Structure formats: structure tokens, C-alpha cells
Amino acid sequence: MTQRIEFQTQPDRYRHWKLKLDGEVAELVMDVDESASLFEGYQLKRNSYDLGVDIELADAVQRLRFEHPEVKVVVLRSGKEGIFCAGANIRMLAGSTHAHKVNFCKFTNETRNGIEDASSNSGQKYMCAIRGTAAGGGYELALATDHIVLADDGNSSVALPELPLLAVLPGTGGLTRVTDKRKVRRDLADAFCTVEEGVKGARAVKWRLVDQAVPTSKFDAAVKEAAGKLAAASDRPGGDAQGIALTPLNGKIEADAVTYSCVKVEIDRTTRRATVTIQGPGEPPPATAEAMWEQGALFWPLRLARELDDAILNLRLNEGEIGVLIFKSQGDPAQVLAYDAFLDANKGHWLAREILHYWKRVLKRIDLTSRSLVALIEPGSCFAGTLAEIALACDRSFMLIGARAGDNRPPATLALSGLNFGSYPMSNGLTRLATRFLGEPESVDKARAETGKMLDAEASEELGLVTAAFDPIDWDDEVRIFLEERSSFSADGLTGMEANLRFAGPETMETKIFGRLTAWQNWIFQRPNAAGAEGALKRYGTGVKASFNPERV
């Protein structure tokens, strides 16, 4: 699996999904092309999926938000007879590296969270109409929606058969959503997760696994009725609102660099570092929401978010040996603040709302990236408002005091906008500033009082907004020492440490999925009972039973 994975796609290139648009209610139909797997060596039978299928789903979910403000409800269904979705493809999992399995699961979890984000924040409600079997990741997909209708036809069922079949967990949020979203009683959840064939009909309703079980004759009507109810509760524009086109990103890909319009990724393979440089806006924000809409995908905050998102995914999946991401920026911080003010003033407009929620998701994607993150805040940079949030997402941030000899760019500043105080909650439900200052909440108020000001390095350090400020004499050594030290540590140890230190305070369903569930799954993905030569993943479908070490740890 060394080929480059491409995250950009569009509906006319989909192999696995059909997006059917018809006014307020859209259908997203899963109809996997079994021969169109992302890698060699397996076929996507029974509507099973691999990362390629999920990249299309993520694209569809994203386009529905930006391109289709008229859509209030999305109905997920299968395009195949007798099967809804068999979940993640097992041969793909069995043949994948540990790193690919882990990153595949992370991406699918982010896609499911994205569906829930659309439901919660964009008035674009998802529901699921299940005919046939929804097993494993198939049921996990259903769990991400607001309403599950199951055909009561003696055949259709929901199941989480991972443990009995594969000796792994339903790790795409499955266990957490069963207990914390569907709130299934724990012993019933235990029973459910051990029954290969799943649960059907009335029992599935009684166990809280689905919302409705409906006979075949009434199925379509029930789905339509449920969709109508969800649409009625939506605050989505609907009607003849016009979306914007998410045009291709056209990043230029070279061996050691990816260059977009306002993001550049430069990779140093010797030191295993990537520098992500963000370019601030070249012009002031438009005067009106209408003008923003006309700019569409070229509107700077949206363009940057899309490019940054793609860059991060590319680093995660295609650049596994790059251990440190260095964030830099270039531009006019006042302009960045002007865009923030524009978005804040227009947040009642559906498109501004989408952009703000998209930035929230991109920033969460950064939080959840298992690489060491450092922001270097230097002269000429523009870590202001939304871009300051990137520095706050980093494990460390260093800021240069004053100017280097011969450099006539303005000294580094950091600036906060209103968006730093609530628009971009982390997975734990808190802002990055609130998480940062959990032990001294008064520091959040002190920072708020400086909103809109250009803070120099010493002021930023004093306010606790950066890890350290260094003068030009010390800067190079301090940064070098930090980077070299980071490279000397174990990659796994860093991953575990960062996953713990980044999420202080409250836990949510999201943090439980990425913390508790994912960590246990990653552990299991290492264990011989699952991944060994005689383990369940390898033995699946061979006719030979897996051989288990019975020892409990």
C-alpha cells in the first residue's frame, strides 16, 4: 500500500455512491463497485467498504453542506438487494499495515462525526433506511444518523459482529454510540455485540438499536414520513437556495512538496519534518454575504480550510514517517481579523455558518493528527483569530521577539478575534483557550480583554498564549533543540502522550471514540489474536478457525 491516496473527488467520479437530489430530501445511495477497491488484493463484496469508499462518502457529505442548502434531510440507503452494508472490508483490514488500519478508522470516524455535525449544526439531518443486513461498519454508519428505520421483513437486521467474527472491536464509534448515543442497556449491548447474526425487528426497537421496525409494505411510506418530520424541524434554507460549487483544489504535487493556492507543504525526509505554510488573504473580505457567495470556493477562508484539510489528510495517510508538523504563516494579521469579523457578522447566513463549522472540523482534524505539532510564529506571520487557533492546537508554540537583522518584515504578532471564544470548540466541547487555561480560567478572560489587539511576543508569552518567546539570538538554537529532541523520541510514545495531553477536561462522545475506543482498538490491532498469522483477521474466510491465546491481560 505505497501508492498515493488521493482525497479529492467529485460526484461524477464516484464509483460507490449515488447522490439523488430531489428538493428538501436527498438520497445518498451506497452501491459499492466491488471491483473498484483502493488497493489490490480484495473485492468490495456485499457493499463492504475501504478507505476509497469512505473518501467518496466524506466528499458527498461535504458537498451536501456547501452545494445543497436546499437539502434538509439526507436518507442513507443501499442500492443493493438484501444487504445494506457489510462494514469495513475484512480482507482489506487483514492485508493492511497497522498504520493504515489506524488511520483508516480515524478517517471513517471523522466522516461519521461530520454527519452528526451536519445534523446538529447545519439543519441537514441524516437518517438511515435499512433493508437487508447492516453489519459492523454498516450499522456504525446508521448509528451516525438521527433516525434509523429498519425493515421488519424477517431478513433485515443490524449487527456488530466484529468480536465473534474478527476478534476486533466495532471501532468506528460503534461501541461508544451504542452505549452513549443510543443508550442501550449494557448487558443488552454486550449480548448484541456477541451475536454474529445481529438483531431484527421488534427486538431491535426494544433494545434501542433502531427507532422503527416497519413491514416491507409500509417501509417507503415510513421512511418518507420520518424524513418529512426531520425536514420540518430543520433550519436549513431549503426552497430555492443556491449552493456554491466546491471546485477542484488543483494542488501541485511534487516529490517533497504540495503547493495549493494558500497552503504550501514542504517535506524534509531527512529530518522527518513537514513545514505547512499558510498564506493570509490577499485582499480584504467582501462587503456583503452575497459577494461572499459569489466568490464561492475562492472565498479565502473556505479556500484555505479546504486546502489545509487536504494537506493534513495527505500527511496522515501518505507521509507516515513525517513525525513533526511545523506550522508557519505569512500575511497581514489585520486582514485575517477582518475576515473573522466578516464571518462573525454574517454567521446567520447559511454559507458563513457552513464555513465556520468547517473550520471547526478542520481544526479538530489537526487536534487528532498523531504527529507532533509546533507553531513557529515569526516576523511577517499572521496567526490571528482563526489562524491563532492553529497555534493553540499545537503541542508547542514559539514566538520570535522583535526582528532578525536585515529582515524588514513586521515583528511577529498574535491576535485573537471573537471566533477564538466559542466558534471552534474542540472534541471535548471546550474552546482551545478554555482547555489551555483549565487551571486558571481567569486567563481566558484576560485573553478576551485583548481581543483585536496585535500582541507582540512578550505580551503573548505573558498571557500564556504561546509556550515561549525567544529573541533572535536564541531562536535558532531553541527551535533546533526542540525539533531534534522531538525526533529522538519514540513515535508511539509521542502518539500516546499527545493523545492524552491534548484533551484535558471533559470527555464527550467524540473524545471517548478517539480516546477510549480507538486506543483499545489499536491495542487489539496489535494483538496476535486479531492480527497474528493464526488470528481472526488473517483466518477469516479461510475455513480454518482462528487460534486464540486465552490469556487475559
Q: Which of residues 147-176 bind its own copies (CB under 8 A)?
A: 162-164, 167-169, 175-176
- Residue 274 engages its own copies in binding (rule: CB under 8 A): no
Computed from CA positions of residues 172, 177, 180, 184, in that sequence, does the dihedral angle turn out positive or negative? Answer: negative
- Residue 462 engages its own copies in binding (rule: CB under 8 A): no
- Residue 211 engages its own copies in binding (rule: CB under 8 A): no
Closest contact distance (angstroms) between CB of 107 and its own copies is 13
User: How many residues at the interface with its own copies, by CB under 8 A?
Assistant: 94
223-to-182, 216, 239, 384, 540 alpha-carbon distances in Å: 19, 11, 21, 46, 35
* Residue selected from 241, 242, 526, 541 as contacting its own copies according to rule CB under 8 A: 526
Contact characters 239-268, its own copies, x per CB under 8 A: ------------------------------
Q: Spell out a b/e string for 465-493, using b for 16 or more CB atoms within 10 Å of the CB, else e.
A: bbbebbeeeebeeebeebbeebeeeebee
Instruction: Show contacts with its own copies in window 351-370 (CB under 8 A).
Output: 370
Contact characters 397-416, its own copies, x per CB under 8 A: x-------------------
Q: How far apart are CA 314 and CA 306, in angstroms?
A: 12
Nearer to its own copies, 67 or 510 (CB): 510
- Residue 186 engages its own copies in binding (rule: CB under 8 A): yes
Instruction: Show contacts with its own copies in window 311-350 (CB under 8 A).
Output: 320-323
Nearer to its own copies, 341 or 491 (CB): 491
DSSP class of residue 419 equals G
- Residue 464 engages its own copies in binding (rule: CB under 8 A): yes
Closest contact distance (angstroms) between CB of 274 and its own copies is 11
Nearer to its own copies, 27 or 461 (CB): 461
243, 296 Cβ separation under 8 angstroms = no
- Residue 507 engages its own copies in binding (rule: CB under 8 A): yes
E strand map for 31-116: 48-49, 73-78, 83-85, 87-88
Helix (H, G, I), strand (E, B) or coil at 446: helix
Closest contact distance (angstroms) between CB of 251 and its own copies is 22
Contacts of 10 (CB under 8 A, 6+ apart): 59, 63, 246, 248
Instruction: Show contacts with its own copies in window 93-112 (CB under 8 A).
Output: 98-99, 102-103
Instruction: Dump the DSSP string for 242-305.
Output: ---------PEEETTEEE-SSEEEEEETTTTEEEEEEE--SSPPPSSHHHHHHHGGGSHHHHHH
- Residue 534 engages its own copies in binding (rule: CB under 8 A): no
Closest contact distance (angstroms) between CB of 552 and its own copies is 5
- Residue 140 engages its own copies in binding (rule: CB under 8 A): no
* Among candidate residues 313, 315, 334, the one with its CA nearest the CA of residue 323: 315
Closest contact distance (angstroms) between CB of 419 and its own copies is 20
Which stretch of DSSP H or E encloses residue 486?
Answer: helix 472-488
Q: Which stretch binds its own copies (CB under 8 A): 13-21, 37-45, 116-124, 495-503?
A: 495-503
Are β-strands 263-268 and 273-279 bridged in parallel, bridged antiparallel, or unpaired?
antiparallel
